[in-house]
Structure 1
Amino acid sequence: MIGEENEKKNEEKNEKLLVDLCECYASLSLYFPSELLSICIPYLLKVASKKEENEETQKEVEIALLALSDIKQFVKTDKELYFNEIKEIILYHQEHHNLTWLAYQSAWRFLTDRLNNERSMEGMIVNEQHFAREAASELDELMRRVDWTRKKVGKGEREVNEVLVIDRWLFDIDYFLEDCTLWNEELDELIDSIVQMYRASKDNHIEIRKECVNIFKKTLENRNVKDEELMKEGAIDAIMEEIQRTTMNEEVTQECVKFFANVLERLKKEKKKHEMK
């Protein structure tokens, strides 16, 4: 249907239908043939690039970016299809704050997922568009909007959306930090924000707490990160707090044990290097 609609002459083409079809396909498909990528991505980016701030347009933009963010990491995507447009969407939001929480996070997910096939973009993402700084800022603001003392949030309440966006940010940060080769001060600040998120969520939001611990473990596995960076930003202290909890979660505890196993392995390697000098 997408191909047939796209092949129609401009005056016959139903662009609204085409965008709807592209959004459905992107959201539901595991694999994405290159011929459909070349149709869907430009149409979705065209919608996502709208700058009007009325509620209807914001919703259209949010859905388009959410659909783009559903294009899987392993789907090889031609950089020319998306790079300038998604970069402009992110930069415009950084200046004008025109996107919803979910839309902005989805724009970043689409871009960082492309690193799977385009590692040359890492410098731009880290140093030009400031992924770590923006992620830390978004997490800090979202954290202030959630009542962490409540054990459950009722269906339909505002915090459901905010906790959902926090979950999405943490998932993507986990993936990004595992392979990041360009560590800088902004990434230190991001780790600090995740430590604060862990402490805010540790009593009543087990999934967020678990993801924070997993990020600490994955970051330690990254050979570009030094032990002192995690110590300085409090990640190791947070892991110690988790181990000392009276009510422990089996999955979280396993991640903590793996974290300390990695610390031990690092210390052994450092000792071996020292002895060889």
Structure 2
Amino acid sequence: MEEFIDGKIEDGNREMASTEKFSKLLEELKNCSVTEQKMKIEEMNRLIDVMNEKEFHSVVTKELFDQMEKMIEEEKLTMENAILLLKHMGYCNILKGIYIEDFFFSSLNRRFRKMIVDEEQKKEGNDEKLFIDLIECYLLLDNRFSSDMYPICVPCLLIVALNKEENEETQKEVEMALLALSYIGYWAIEQKLYLNEIKTIIEYHQEHHNLTRLAYQSAWSFLVCRSYYYKSLEDVIVNELHFSREAAKELEELSKSVDWKRKEERMGKTERKTMDIILRWIGFIHHLFNRFHLENEEYVGLFSDLVDVFRASRDNHDEVGKKCVILFNESANNLTVEVDDLLKSGAIDVILEELHRPTLNKGLAFESLKFFYILSLRFGGKENDEMKEAKRKELKRKMLEKMEEEGYEDIFISFQKTNMFYFDDDSGFIHL
């Protein structure tokens, strides 16, 4: 009986690394019945779940994809079973933020691309399930596909995502379709191919809550990426679909479903997935702040939920905390964000708390000090407008009082008088 233990397999009397077991199972696929093959692939998928980034990259290679293409060609691997493995690789690729490079260069990529085009040309005579599966694998494993594939791939997956049935199987299909779309990245796609559909998907969920958490975040991600080429989408995203309200609500609800006292390696599969979605939201919000302007109360609401996530994560999840502080740094550096928004939301308080911790994480300490350096620059000059200047002075007074309470007033003042240097995580000087 085999059991998964910390990324390894207990196999009889000896431990076998997950990568070694994965390679062994891959070789065994060539001489199995279709049913046995499926069982082995399901085991390979479980192994992928527990792999870290280094292990994942060591098995998910161009050689693997080329080997699979050869096995398909020689009819030693069924397309159905190949898709079962490839979809899971792509799913983990995106959720873990690992990013597979080798699929683009593989013979399997060329086979899938040709099959997609061939199926699309069949029109009514095509195998719809195969067509969708091929597109999802293609997008999940490689976001560098050419623009001539957009009119084929995007409408097809949006049709899947528009399915409003709420049974578990449909929800999984919708989630996979939207996740694949979210991986397209920052490419220009004609609005007629997606805008009405993606708005319908988001608005319907806001009313009926039919999507999974990951599916909903993926729908938003796909739409916001399009705004890099179409500024007109800002009004749709910010005002029609109420991005800040929805993102704050999702962060709050996701955070409640995580036991933050448990270290990541001790979390179950569902909890790890929730953590991955939280990290996707934080990264997504980070990029969004450089694109759109929100109202002050919207910034405060969103920052408040990020503060709660930061506080909850600080003991066992440094990566989450660091991403939150970096996001606050970017916000402080963004002149459309008022310093008062950071004060009211508690962002300044939580970063001061971080500097008071008995054991400082160097990366977090660096980002925290950088945050206050950026704020000091915001207070460095004078405003020509009397009302703005009065507001600047009042905010500076509040900041100095808060820093004085925590014992950091002298540091804050020195930021404004000297050129500051800090050590980074590699013990190298960085000039801010």
In structure 2, give the amino acid aligned to 1:248: L
Asked if the contact 1:178/1:221 (under 8 Å) is kept, the reply is: no
User: Are residues 108 and 132 of structure 1, via their aligned partners in 2, closer, same or farther at CA, if it must alter by over 3 Å?
Assistant: same
Deviations 1:119-163 (A, max 9, x none): 211122111111111111111111111111122353643211111
Asked if the contact 1:180/1:224 (under 8 Å) is kept, the reply is: no
The structure number with the bigger radius of gyration is 2
* Structure 1 residue aligned with 2:235: 123
The equivalent position to 1:49 in structure 2, one of 144, 152, 162, is 162
**Deviation of the 1:184 alpha carbon:** 4.1
In structure 2, give the amino acid aligned to 1:30: N
Greater length-normalized contact order (CA 8 Å, ≥ 6 residues apart): 1
Of residues 199-208 and 240-249 in structure 1, the stretch that sits farther from structure 2 once superposed is: 240-249
Of residues 55-64 and 160-169 in structure 1, the stretch that sits farther from structure 2 once superposed is: 160-169
Provide the C-alpha distance between the structure 1 equivalents of 2:307 and 2:268, rounded to a whole number of angstroms: 28
* Structure 1 residue aligned with 2:203: 91
* Structure 1 residue aligned with 2:117: 3
Asked if the contact 2:227/2:234 (under 8 Å) is kept, the reply is: yes
* Structure 1 residue aligned with 2:305: 193
* Structure 1 residue aligned with 2:315: 203
Of residues 38-47 and 220-229 in structure 1, the stretch that sits farther from structure 2 once superposed is: 220-229
1:147 and 2:272 matched:
no
Provide the C-alpha distance between the structure 2 equivalents of 1:184 and 1:96, rounded to a whole number of angstroms: 29
**Deviation of the 1:178 alpha carbon:** 2.8
* Structure 2 residue aligned with 1:230: 342
The equivalent position to 1:72 in structure 2, one of 156, 178, 185, is 185
Asked if the contact 1:123/1:182 (under 8 Å) is kept, the reply is: no
Asked if the contact 2:296/2:341 (under 8 Å) is kept, the reply is: no
* Structure 1 residue aligned with 2:216: 104
Of residues 78-87 and 241-250 in structure 1, the stretch that sits farther from structure 2 once superposed is: 241-250
The equivalent position to 1:212 in structure 2, one of 318, 324, 345, is 324
* Structure 2 residue aligned with 1:58: 171
User: Are residues 178 and 209 of structure 1, via their aligned partners in 2, closer, same or farther at CA, if it must alter by over 3 Å?
Assistant: same
User: Are residues 238 and 32 of structure 1, via their aligned partners in 2, closer, same or farther at CA, if it must alter by over 3 Å?
Assistant: same
1:29 and 2:142 matched:
yes
Provide the C-alpha distance between the structure 2 equivalents of 1:202 and 1:273, rounded to a whole number of angstroms: 41
In structure 1, give the amino acid aligned to 2:176: I
Asked if the contact 2:299/2:341 (under 8 Å) is kept, the reply is: no
Of residues 43-52 and 255-264 in structure 1, the stretch that sits farther from structure 2 once superposed is: 255-264
* Structure 2 residue aligned with 1:132: 244
Asked if the contact 1:26/1:70 (under 8 Å) is kept, the reply is: yes
Kindly, what percent of the aligned residue pairs are identical? 49
Provide the C-alpha distance between the structure 1 equivalents of 2:123 and 2:276, rounded to a whole number of angstroms: 41
* Structure 2 residue aligned with 1:254: 366
**Deviation of the 1:35 alpha carbon:** 1.3
* Structure 1 residue aligned with 2:151: 38
In structure 1, give the amino acid aligned to 2:282: L
Deviations 1:20-40 (A, max 9, x none): 111112112232322101110
Provide the C-alpha distance between the structure 2 equivalents of 1:137 and 1:62, rounded to a whole number of angstroms: 19
Question: What secondary structure sits across from 2:259 in the alignment?
Answer: coil
* Structure 1 residue aligned with 2:293: 181
Of residues 254-263 and 218-227 in structure 1, the stretch that sits farther from structure 2 once superposed is: 254-263
Which ranges of structure 1 fall in alignment gaps of 5 or more residues?
Answer: none
TM-score normalised by length of structure 2 = 0.61
Question: What secondary structure sits across from 1:26 in the alignment?
Answer: helix
In structure 1, give the amino acid aligned to 2:292: C
Asked if the contact 2:296/2:338 (under 8 Å) is kept, the reply is: no
* Structure 2 residue aligned with 1:113: 225
User: Are residues 38 and 61 of structure 1, via their aligned partners in 2, closer, same or farther at CA, if it must alter by over 3 Å?
Assistant: same
Asked if the contact 1:2/1:18 (under 8 Å) is kept, the reply is: yes
